[in-house]
Structure 1
Amino acid sequence: MTATTSIFLQKSWFALLKEAGLPGGAAHHILDAAGLRMHLLRVPGGLESCSNFYSPDFGFEEGSQPTEISLRAFARQLRAEAPSRIMLRPMRRDTPVVALLSQALVAEDFRVDLLPVSKNWYLPCAGLSWSDYLAQRPSRLRNTLRRCQTKLRATPGFRIDIIRDAGRTLDAALAAYNRVYASSWKEAEPYPAFMPGLCHMAAAQGSLRLAVLYVRDEPAAAQVWFVKDQTASIYKLAYDARFSRLGVGTVLTAALFEHVMTVDQVSEIDFLTGDDSYKSEWMSHHRELVALLAFDQLSLSGKLRALRHFAPRWLKRKIGKTA
């Protein structure tokens, strides 16, 4: 297997999450074994992934080299931590590491379950031109986009800025993003320092694509994307409700699709978490995101937790057979 690579699995990502995206007192714990590093949280009776609503992906820290042998060693180290329950999420079910880590935990007397938690829509686009991509989209999306683009181009003070670098321009774009976010349908950020910190981190690495659409020189829509290792990740979307009839969100999404295809020449565009219906209009594929649950079968508390978890499913099957 190749080394883990994702902006959401970098050491700097976990450092930022710990500093600005977790409640005070969260017990951060790094498990390092056999060349694999995983960022975890100690919780009563067990271990959980160092992840939350900011985390579209979870796994080993970037640079780890998971193999069947190293995963067995890692599972043994997890066993030594004596957790009665382990919860890791979200993880992509189709990756080999999920199956191999599950097998390694079973070999260490854990009972494992994979629970679906969300879907991940994505678009393989290596060598695909913007015009060819657009031609493949549903006619409803193409017609909406064309109509909204025409309307916006005729509106005074319309422009789209795409910010990649740190500095005063980024600070101004972040202020515009915050203004849009506050005027959107989104709930207020529970950790206000996290998004600015993440954008500055990504800008320093050359991964940031922070786009702001202006109407009459007012910020009307904003999106935060990241580009790393030929993958463009769509992280945050928001638009000011006052401008919704102009389709500002649709137009800005299209502008960023075109940018990452033609300028960055990415091979995949990733909509990260969420099975929202509109994503299927932009994307062509989806995969399942799961939570990996493991219960220690050598401890009473682990057995009891497993019983509580699996019993409803067992009873449902039992009732179904006798019905």
Structure 2
Amino acid sequence: MRITNTMMINNSLANIAVNKNQLSTLDTQMSTKKKINRPSEDPIIAIRALRLRSSLNEVTQYLEKNIPDANSWMKVIQGALEEGENVVSDLYKNCNQGATDSYSTEQRATLADDLQNLKETYYDQGNVDYAGRYVFSGYRTDSRLTFASEAEADNYSYSITQGLTADNFDTKYVYSNPVDVTDLESYINSTAAIPDVDRAEVYRMRLAYSDTDSNTIPVLQYQKTDASGKLVTDADGNPVMVNVADKYPIKSTTDDNAIPGDDEILYNANTGELIFGKNAYLETRNQKNLNVTYSKTNFDKGDVKPEHYLFYVRTYRQRCKGTCR
């Protein structure tokens, strides 16, 4: 093959151009301290650089913002828990003091006021926030644990479904033939015998709230089981529920000392209690997936909002007085 001078010159010029380009690239890298300046120079390196940049941004955010933010968040929680522990300790001390026989009625009334104040202080710890987010409100960080004012509390009505277990049942004593202690003189002056006070033990289940709606009877139900004890579901896989009131009627009462029949349940909206007759209690207490649904409208300032409880708040609606905004 014949190699001409022109070919040699062209090859030399091409090599010089390549070297100049490489020199320019290296000079640019040295001055800019960057491997590439345009993605087109090396697409693979460009993709790797973008991934590294994203990872670096995440690490920087964790280091400079997330970790300090989490530390501050934990300090707020720790402070609130420590204060709550101190409040519980004070509650315990006051209760022990109130149980002392030497305390007068006035002193016990003062202790009762102190207990109420300590209760409010305890719930206030549940409303602590960090950077505008309430730390004890679960994922509802924009909502206080308790109602902030009477106006706010008065705007809502809840229908609450509360899950139950056998641990939710206990017993209490009720009394009949009570003596009116405000009119003891009439008993002294009377020749009739002072009636004996009868005491009876009843089974009860306390709702999460007192002063519930008396015009709505609670719905108490549990999931049906077959002969082998297996939970029953319908064709769609939904639980088949049994309404307790179909067998044991639930009746409303305002008498704190009312005694239910063996086959009935009494509902005291004032105290937030269901009082069970013997048969109703024995059949209901160990049922699976037991729950009660009831309504409550009369909330007060400082009451815990139902949506922050472990049980499920099915619905709630705003009741507006005047103009709703």
Asked if TM exceeds 0.5, the reply is no
Structure number with higher strand proportion: 1
TM-score by length of 1: 0.19
Q: Which has the higher contact order (CA 8 A, sep 6+)?
A: 1
Q: Considering only CA atoms, is the larger Rg found in Structure 1 or Structure 2? A: 2
TM-score by length of 2: 0.19
